[in-house]
A and B are shown apart, each in its own frame.
Chain A
């Protein structure tokens, strides 16, 4: 694996023994770069049941409110006491596909990341 290491700290600057001195830092680890399949949401099939949100191992399904632009359009989606589908956190979604597998209305499907590249191969 070729990596650009110039932006990372040198051996004299990091804690010894592999210790991470700061709690709750996993948020800064952008596991979204691991993804080869991207979940795509279809609001016209989504009931906002939030089963995807419960099952996502990386808390990469966002919970939205009644004004969520990504909310599902099937059934009740205007109760301020209930969450609505709020979109994906693509910085942390690894593309495991669990959300698509557990969705009872098939409102999420997985697409190869290559579909989202432009002609230069950039996202």
Chain B
């Protein structure tokens, strides 16, 4: 019998709650704002004996990811969490975790990368490692971060996937804000994630294997080809796990979550907490008779280009929100994916990219309205004008 309790929790506490219920064998972490409250809360669970986890307090994020990789290769269920420069310091090991096919789950509380030094939210940290081979789930709320963290364990450990999963939520906006979140009972979560036996665990001494050997021109490429395949194969598996978990929590969980898209003349594509602001503005504009909509990206890696194209090809104008910049590129990371997904469609929207919210710059209702107004101008004129725009920056 599934029991659900409403609790007032921050996004960070939601994730710590998920981790308590997952009860990982090993957690290795180093504090960094705004991730710290996750490990603060989780280490309290360790101290109180509420989990069986071996909690490794390391001297840097490079070591945090390295210890997590070692623990996962040994066959244990291993987790960590980080933000911003901490993720940057993990960099080389982040790639090793993916290429060694270790089902690690890492919470990333999105924070701007230095410099200049800044502790507030943007997506430059996780977007920076979008090519590292990790599955990336983005969370609008603390409750979604809770759901994503639990589902991430199942996705990562699926024998046909075996890829690490990054669960992202917005620094401070989500991680430090208290909302009511529906928390499942421990038994339901335990049953949902199941047992973890590891893929060729190092500690299974009767079957010794070598992990991380030299892999030169003769086989490296074949291993990369396997990673490409795993991401592709993960798509239906992720959706089936979403469906299974969605039935428990009573929600429809999808790669791309549409809101008022069917008859939309202008729509916005966005990830994480800003979707809340945009949904509010969609409601307001709908009351005025404007046909506007929103598409929330929940899974950024693997990016399901076919599904996205199917969902937006009928919309005349689409604005794509990017909370990170790709300097020198034609637009931000989300924009590039969206443009790429619709490139071969015979009927496709005009697209405009908005770089917004960098370094925690507030994303306001007024900005969201400005976006929809500009998109309307684009639709009426048939001319996208400047395709990559910045939003909320002083001239």
Contacts and interface: CB of A to CB of B under 8 A. Distances in A.
B289 interface: no
B217 A1 contact: yes
A94 to B, nearest CB: 14
A5 B199 CA distance: 28
A119 interface: no
Given A8-B218, A10-B222, A11-B229, A17 B208 contact: no
B222 A19 contact: no
B33 interface: no
Contacts of B207: 21
B211 A19 contact: yes
Interface in A1-43: 1, 3, 5, 8-11, 14-21, 23, 25
A46 B225 CA distance: 51
A58 to B, nearest CB: 14
B3 interface: no
A38 B218 CA distance: 25
A34 to B, nearest CB: 11
B226 A16 contact: yes
B162 A16 contact: yes
A20 B222 contact: no
Interface stretch (B98-106, B242-250, B354-362, B381-389): B98-106
A74 B66 CA distance: 53
A1 B215 CA distance: 14
B213 interface: yes
A91 to B, nearest CB: 17
A19 B223 CA distance: 10
Given A11-B226, A11-B229, A17 B100 contact: yes
A25 B213 CA distance: 12
Given A10-B222, A14-B219, A23 B101 contact: no
Contacts of B200: 15, 19, 21
